[in-house]
Amino acid sequence: MKSTTKVVIGLLLLVASAATRAELTLYAGVEYFDWKESTTPQVEETGPRALAGVILLQDRERGLLFGYRGQIYGGQVDYNGAELFTGAPVTGTVQYFGVLNEGQVRYRTPVTPNEHVDGMLAVGGDFWNRQFSADQKETWFVFYARLGLELGPQAGKAGWVGAIGVKYPFYTYENGHLTDIGFDQNPTLHPGGSWSGYASLGYRIGAHWSVTGFYDSYRFRQSPDVQATSGGTLYSIYQPQSSMDVYGVTVAYTF
């Protein structure tokens, strides 16, 4: 019992020690959102969304370190698409709200006295609600991995910030809430994943403030068909091949 207590106390001290050496960044910004679905007529959603988040990163000059990123985002975008049953062209708006959580493993290498490069592997979960009307909505859960390189200044220094890498959604769960729009069943959809990219470039001004432009994306393959009935008719339902691209800018403060 005493040895177990010592181990627990030791682990708590290690966590507390790591937290005192952590670099905390708060950020907020705006992005231009572009969603496309491979249908006829094509579904496209475009418009601005707001975002805010936090990054917690161990403060080390070199070697292995761990990080966390959390973000919320949302906004109303324009919808140009088609009616679900008839395929007739439809325009309107879509309301988005999402939450993202991501864990990171990095290996840091100094490249100048003031700058370092991190090799990064991140795994995250991205949840969003896509609200078309009072009755029609979609809920998405996307689990993804990112692999890339990230440039940054040493703690308390000014300098360039940037990142480049690839991204893959390895599991996607889509709830179309089909019973809310007249179906008798609500089978879930599972679009497949495809590789896409991300990148950012900015500058830390002084020890704390930074401004960064960024690009992010997802690529989804068409989901397998599922069946559901409505009014005595059997329908085959699927999520078409889809793509998401966002371009934005953030302002951040690092403690």
Residue-level pLDDT at 2: 54
Q: What is the pLDDT of residues 74-127, one digit of tens each?
A: 999 999 987 776 778 889 999 999 999 999 999 999 999 999 999 999 999 999
Residue-level pLDDT at 6: 53
Residue-level pLDDT at 1: 52
Q: Higher confidence at residue 232 or residue 13?
A: 232
Q: What is the pLDDT of residues 87-100, one digit of tens each?
A: 788 899 999 999 99
CB 194 within 8 A of CB 243: no
Q: What is the pLDDT of residues 1-45, one digit of tens each?
A: 555 445 444 433 444 444 456 899 999 999 999 999 998 888 999
Q: Is the pLDDT confidence value at 216 over 90?
A: yes
Burial degree of 218 (CB within 10 A; 0-12, 13-18, 19+): buried
Q: What domains appear along the chain, each with residue ranges and CATH number?
A: 23-254 (2.40.128.100)
pTM: 0.89
- The pLDDT mean for the chain works out to 91
Helix (H) or strand (E) holding 59: none
CB 244 within 8 A of CB 225: no
